[in-house]
Amino acid sequence: GIQVEQSPPDLILQEGANSTLRCNFSDSVNNLQWFHQNPWGQLINLFYIPSGTKQNGRLSATTVATERYSLLYISSSQTTDSGVYFCAVSGGTSYGKLTFGQGTILTVHP
Amino acid sequence: SQTIHQWPATLVQPVGSPLSLECTVEGTSNPNLYWYRQAAGRGLQLLFYSVGIGQISSEVPQNLSASRPQDRQFILSSKKLLLSDSGFYLCAWSVGPGGNQPQHFGDGTRLSIL
């Protein structure tokens, strides 16, 4: 199956800083999603981005499918951005069965 | 708009007891449905998925089973819980058929086995 690797595993920032999270995957995909898991465990959809670039406020994401990676950019970070960020992918005829990376734990200090 | 409901939010069960977790989706028809488990707060693992009523595929051999008695209802069960069944269980749905649509997750159930 598809392998998903996220980096860095942990990230500590001061409020206002920018950051880039990376997701590498081992095969072609037809679904790639970025999620934010908040301290209560809720998985919040950030982006559905199997290819291309999208932006939503202070967050943006880029997927370069031919090179098998995706990047999540967080600008002007806030304490509410803290939590775990997951990349998840599916490919082929997998009926959208997502394979998750191990996540990046982001801590934003005031 | 579509919504997904999971209950209960938390559950504490003794080893050897049965389990039933329920997930329902509103506002869509014939969705793909999924059960995931998250252990130790990192990485979700797909347990079961369903593309239609009565159609269940298992991804990981284990002590759990799933059923889909109605189009928008997905149930996770066990006859006898093990300590290793503890974890955070999440249900998800996506537009069917096929798999090229984003998945949307419920709020999850925290299951503790004593």
Instruction: Please report the beta strands in chain B, taking only residues with DSSP state E, as ranges in sequence order.
Output: 3-7, 10-13, 19-26, 32-38, 44-52, 55-58, 65-70, 73-78, 87-94, 104-105, 109-113
Range B69-98 average pLDDT:
93
Higher pLDDT, A76 or A93: A76
Q: CA-to-CA distance for B45 and B32, rounded, in angstroms?
A: 17
Judge whether B14 and B114 are in contact, CB under 8 Å.
yes
Per-residue CA distances from A63 to A14, B17, B100 (Å)? 26, 45, 15
pLDDT tens across A15-47, in order? 999 999 999 999 999 899 999 999 889 999 999
A95 interfaces chain B, CB cutoff of 8 Å: yes
Q: Kindly tell me the sign of the dihedral angle through the C-alpha atoms of A31, A32, A38, A40.
A: positive
Range A98-110 average pLDDT:
95
Half-sphere exposure of B77 (CA within 13 A, CB side): 9
A100 interfaces chain B, CB cutoff of 8 Å: yes
Coil, helix or strand at residue A31: strand
Judge whether A86 and B44 are in contact, CB under 8 Å.
yes
Contact between A41 and B108 using a beta-carbon 8 Å cutoff: yes
- pLDDT higher than threshold 90 for residue A97: no
Judge whether A106 and A85 are in contact, CB under 8 Å.
yes
For B105, the closest of A30, A43, A97 (CB atoms) is A43
Range B25-45 average pLDDT:
90
Quick count: other Cβ atoms within 10 Å of Cβ A107? Answer: 13
Percent of chain A with pLDDT over 90: 87
Asked, as a colleague might, if the bond just before A50 is cis with ω within 30 of 0, I would say no
Q: CA-to-CA distance for B76 and A14, rounded, in angstroms?
A: 41
A4 interfaces chain B, CB cutoff of 8 Å: no
Closest CA to B110 of B80, B91, B92, B90: B90
- Strands A10-14 and A104-109, sheet pairing: parallel
Least confident of A10-19, A34-43, A62-71: A34-43
Q: Count contacts between A and B (CB, < 8 Å).
A: 71
- pLDDT higher than threshold 80 for residue B97: no
pLDDT recorded at residue B41: 62
Judge whether A52 and A29 are in contact, CB under 8 Å.
no
Here the tokens at position A28 are 């072609």
- pLDDT higher than threshold 70 for residue A1: yes
Percent of chain B with pLDDT over 70: 96
